[in-house]
Structures are given as C-alpha cells and as structure tokens.
Structure 1
Amino acid sequence: MKTPSLFAHYWSENETLTTFQEVMNWDINPIIIEIIQTEITHQLQSEFIQNTLPNFNWESNRFTEKWSSAIQSLLTNVTLPEKIWLDWIQDLTNKTISTTDQAEPTILEE
C-alpha cells in the first residue's frame, strides 16, 4: 500500500474517522507507530506543502523551527478513516515482518 496522502480526501459515508492520537493508543508495534509518525512528518515538511503555502518564508530558520514545533501539534490531530489506518498498519507490519525475516542470520550446516 502506498503511504496515504494527508492532502487527499478519503470519503466514505459510513466510515469512522480516527485521529493519529487514537491510533497511538491501539496495540501496535512501536516501530510501526514510529514509521507512521515519520511518514506524516515528512509529508508536513515536503516540497508540496511549501508550494501549497507559498506565503510563508520557508528560507527562514526561525520559521522552520516554528513550523517543526507546529508539526508536533498537528501530528496527533491527523484524521483518516479507520480503514485507511488499518490498511496502512497492516502493510507496514507485513513489510516489517518481511524485513525482519530476511535479516535473521542463516545457520550453516556442517
């Protein structure tokens, strides 16, 4: 699954919307939470957001410090349909398990 975009509108008439704060309270591997947090943060710092909000001084170190602080506040309020979160978490879990399986040492038989 491709990382869900914060800039897309996911709409479903009967879908439950869930915040990232709520997702962090689910029983999920902390590594998955960290990956999601990193990916959301990346989207909030992307070139796309800079182009979307051109009237901010993205060259200013002071502004980027303030924006980084604002991102921390925005992060927990990111709201997506529950199914999007569940699919994303499942995909990341599968990828993490796959990576872990490949990283285990191989025992050579004599």
Structure 2
Amino acid sequence: MASGMFDTPIVGVVNNLFGGLIDAPVVGRLVRRGLIKIRYVGRRSGKTIQTPVGYRRSGDGVVIHVMSPDSKTWWRNFLGEGGPITLLNFDGADRTGHAIASRDEKGRVKVAVQLG
C-alpha cells in the first residue's frame, strides 16, 4: 500500500506541476528528455490513469525506474505478464507499448516498456 509522503495531497500537486511542465510550450521539450506522462487502465479499478514518470530510453523502448516502490502502487499493474501502456507525446506522438514491472534482489523496481 502507498504510505509516507507519497500518500499525501502534496503528491497530486507535484504531479500536476510536472504534468504542466511536460506540456509547456517553451520548456516542455527539455523536460520531456527525462519525464513523460503515461496512461494505463488500472487492473482492479478499470479506471484510466495518467501520471508523470521519469524514464530512460533503452533500445526500442524505455525503462522507468520507480522511486520508493513500496510507497507507490501504479507499477503493480504491470507485474506478471505486464499490460498495455501509452506514452503521451513521446517524440511528438502518443506511443503504445507493453510494460512489464520487475523487482531486483535489492528491492528496486523497474518497468520495461517495449514500444509497438
């Protein structure tokens, strides 16, 4: 379950701030080099969710390293066989892909996205 600072109202404010920066006409291009908005459908809720995340390009896809994974739940939608994901305004267009989350022996979580 989400807990700690990631379970407070300030998170919504920060996400909205970064979401706005990603879409900003002047600085957006620079911000999008390391941040992107993702959209996916929650496995249990069935709701469409959109949130900004940090990413790095990796071959034909991207890797999202999840900071404080035990305090967040979004990445759990991609455990096991994973699921569909959309990277919004990635290289100028919305790009769909398949995301799979994994946790290493040190507890770090990454979500690997293979773009379609």
* TM more than 0.5: no
Between 1 and 2, higher relative CO (CA 8 Å, sep ≥ 6) is seen in 1
- Please state which structure has a larger fraction of its residues in helix: 1
What's the TM-score once normalised by structure 2's chain length?
0.27
* TM-score, normalised by the number of residues in structure 1: 0.28
**For the pair shown, which has the larger CA radius of gyration, 1 or 2?**
1
More strand by share: 2
